[in-house]
Amino acid sequence: MALARMAVLREPGDGTGAVARLISHVEAVMGFTNCYEDATRAEAYSKLEFARTYYLAFRDLPTIISDHVRGRDAIDFGCGTGRSTRFLRKLGFDVIGVDIAEDMLRKAREVDPGGDYRLVQDGDLRQFTSCSYDLVLSAFTFDNIPAMDTKVRIFTELRRLLKPEGRIVSVVSSPEIYVHEWASFSTKDFPENRNAKSGDEVRIITTDFDDGRPMIDILCTDESYREVYRSVGLKVVGTYKPVAKGDEPYEWVNETRIAPWVIYVLKKTQEISDRS
């Protein structure tokens, strides 16, 4: 299947039901405060579909995953109400959905009683065996993780889960999403977003459901993400910036000319030994 219109960057030499927005705050050095243990928001997320701006986040994932991933064992990190978990299962993966929000997982199990959904306390992934997964998908999760050291700790754990040839596919919000209007989002009430730097809070409203409370995300630039990846022994083997073609059945706002999402494909490097 050919990729639809998309800006694609390859590194030199390299041959979702609703996804929970996992918002977390550092307590002391290691902990999370789960601000999305929220039944109202879980109910709203469970009604989201792969439509409008969200459609672009998932449209090309089947091709991207097919190009980069061998094997069928997967973790959906930050699965929320299970949209992306079910998406991976339809692609043929044996997938486990994990999240820190019990309300989100309760809704995921209600929608998908046969799915494997697991609560992780404080983002602790030690229940999962090292070097056991072909794919770790993280869709929007890192939009809400504030501190660089927390990102580093979590990506270190996700790296640990990968088989030697496994891949992490991380879908994140482009910094541009916070300063424009979109088919699924509005930022016009938050002009302060334009002055935000990497690591700052930004606000955005999802217009696809009735819960009109703004999301509080953490702006993270491409440079900052790549710094995190390098520090934990991950190499970017593909970067994708999906934009709309213009012939989809949606009324686009800026999606045909600006990519709202960035999709990173990551593999292990040999510089850092695996941790058990």
**Mean pLDDT to the nearest integer, 195-208:** 96
Indicate the SS3 state at residue 165: strand
Q: Is the pLDDT of residue 237 over 70?
A: yes
Model pLDDT for residues 62-98, shown as the tens digit of each residue: 999 999 999 999 999 999 999 999 999 999 999 999 9
Q: For residue 75, count other CB atoms closer than 10 A to its CB.
A: 28
User: Bigger pLDDT: 119 or 47?
Assistant: 119
CA distances for 34 relative to 20, 25, 101, 214, angstroms: 11, 8, 7, 16
What is the reported pLDDT for 177? 98
Cα–Cα dist 71/143, whole Å: 27
**Mean pLDDT to the nearest integer, 165-171:** 98
Model pLDDT for residues 115-163, shown as the tens digit of each residue: 999 999 877 899 999 999 999 999 999 999 989 999 999 999 999 999 9
Q: Is the pLDDT of residue 26 over 50?
A: no
Enumerate domains of the chain plus CATH numbers. Answer: 6-268 (3.40.50.150)
Q: If we measure between CA atoms, which residue out of 136, 86, 75 comes closest to residue 111?
A: 86
Beta strands in 180-243, from DSSP E residues, in sequence order:
185-186, 201-206, 215-218, 234-242
Pairing of strands 201-206, 234-242: unpaired
Q: How confident is the model at residue 39 (pLDDT cuts 50, 70, 90)?
A: low
What is the reported pLDDT for 121? 84
What is the reported pLDDT for 271? 60
Cα–Cα dist 269/70, whole Å: 17
Residue 206 structure tokens: 């999802």
The reported pTM is: 0.83
Q: Is the pLDDT of residue 19 over 90?
A: no
What is the reported pLDDT for 49? 60
What is the reported pLDDT for 210? 78
Q: Is the pLDDT of residue 8 over 70?
A: no
Whole-number average pLDDT of the chain: 85
What is the reported pLDDT for 122? 74
Q: Which residues of 212-243 are buried (b: 16+ CB within 10 A; e: fewer)?
A: eeebebbbbebebbeebbeebbbbbbbbbbbb
